[in-house]
Amino acid sequence: MVEDDERMAAAIGRGLRYEGLVVDLAADGHEALARLGAIEYSAVVLDVMLPGMDGVETCRRLRAEAHWVPVLMLTARDAIEDRVRGLDGGADDYMTKPFSLAELTARLRALARRGQSERPAVLEVGPLRLDPASREVHRGDARISLSAREFALLEAFMRRPGQVLTQGQLLEAAWDAGYEQRSNVVEVYVRYVREKIDRPFGADGIETVRGVGYRLRKDGGG
């Protein structure tokens, strides 16, 4: 648990230990990153208002260093913007003070069940980079402008690099259930995406797997 208020940290720590959890305390983001680099934890309770480096930046750095421990952000702030910043920074859950210790414990148990599977806030495949929060796409240093539908398709590919996605899977990723399916709509939009992320750069990132679907190469097309 990362909390700079000593009394608050001690109180929460006692409550969590009473519930059978083993708790280590850190007073700031730098100490938290050092501990997380040395010890494997099941979950992190991270206060947003920390001295120096705040909780959101701590979480961003944690994810940038490929640490995927589940993070629950805890703060007195209840503004929508603060919650959005925390979740877009890589947090998995969010609670505001005051809170119920029973609910905090239950949420931590749920987070621990997820394990440390990779779930970066920004997707990167080779030179391709996609930020779901800012809706920005880059190949190397070049920014690429995509429509909402094109963005949804590329995000589906970048979440499963090297995996063949069928037309049905791509339809589910970018169109709602009420869409009146046309036989070639996926083919058309995949072509649009290729024309923006591949062809201007002499790349070949999205491949056609005949009779099955499409896949994004694991190197993003180089």
| pLDDT single digits (tens) 21-63 | 889 999 999 999 999 988 889 899 999 999 999 999 999 999 9
Residues in the chain: 222
The amino acid that residue 75 corresponds to is T
Instruction: Tell me: pLDDT of 78 over 80.
Output: no
pLDDT tens digits, residue range 128-174? 999 988 889 999 999 999 998 899 999 999 999 999 999 989 988 88
The helix (H) or strand (E) run that includes residue 125 is: strand 123-125
Distance CA 72, CA 91 (A): 6
pTM score over 0.75: no
| Residue 7 burial (CB count, 10 A) | 8
Q: In the prediction, which pLDDT does 218 show?
A: 95
Is 75's pLDDT higher than 70?
yes
Residue 182: pLDDT band by 50, 70, 90 thresholds?
low
Identity at 40, one-letter amino acid code: E
Q: Say if residue 201's pLDDT is above 80.
A: yes
Q: Residue 179: what pLDDT?
A: 67
Which region among 98-102, 118-122, 150-154, 197-201 has the lowest average model confidence (pLDDT)? Answer: 118-122
Give the residues across from 214 on adjacent strands.
165, 208
Q: What is the mean pLDDT of the chain?
A: 90
Question: Which pLDDT score, from 0 to 100, does residue 163 have?
Answer: 95
The pLDDT, as a whole number, for residue 181 is 64
Confirm if 165 and 193 have CB atoms less than 8 A apart.
no
Q: Answer with the residue of higher pLDDT: 180 or 130.
A: 130
Cis check for the bond before 120: say yes or no (omega within 30 of 0).
no
Per-residue confidence (pLDDT) for residue 180, from 0 to 100: 65
Structure tokens at 20: 């059978």
20 band by pLDDT with thresholds 50, 70 and 90: confident
CB 24 within 8 A of CB 39: yes
